[in-house]
Amino acid sequence: MLLRLEEFCSLTDMIRSDTSQILEENIPLLKAKVTEMRGIYAKVDQLEAFVKMVGHHVSFLEAHVLQAERDHGAFSQALRRWLGSSGLPSFRNKSSTPAPLPFELPALYRTEDYFPGDAGDAPRTPSRRRHRRV
């Protein structure tokens, strides 16, 4: 019986030492990781908002492209003549297109405004700046 009591006491001492090690070493590490993860979660939220905004801009520009295709015609004149000669009535009775309206570029966002840290990392070249603007 005394031997079992000794085993039980050594087991409780081992549990206490493990608990104190967890409280002294692992809990502060976990708190640091939680703080780090909060920053990562904030960045993910910002990226989600950015992707949503870009999606709205893409939809807006897509609507502009579709409108421009309707206004200016997506087919070339030669293709229209070829299709008109095939006997399709929709192309045969097509009136000539009016003079194209001037296109105004809508106000767009700049990626550098949303990711200022990336602007200093990469060397700026005219072609890179042109492609990153959406």
The model's pLDDT over 107-116, given as tens digits with 9 standing for 90+, comes to: 777 888 887 7
Tell which wins on pLDDT, 106 or 50: 50
Q: What is the mean pLDDT of the chain?
A: 76
- With cut-offs at 50, 70 and 90, classify the pLDDT of residue 123: very low
pTM: 0.51
| Helix/strand/coil for 110 | strand
Give 56-63 contacts, CB < 8 A, sequence gap 24+.
Answer: 57/108, 57/109, 57/134, 60/106, 61/106
User: Which of 116, 115, 112 is closest to 131 using CA atoms?
Assistant: 112
Residue 110 dihedral angles phi and psi, to the nearest 5°: -115, 130
Q: Check residue 35 and give its pLDDT.
A: 95
The model's pLDDT over 2-55, given as tens digits with 9 standing for 90+, comes to: 899 999 999 999 998 888 888 888 888 999 999 999 999 999 999 999 999 999
Q: How many CB atoms lie within 10 A of CB 23?
A: 10
Q: What percent of the chain is modeled with pLDDT above 70?
A: 64
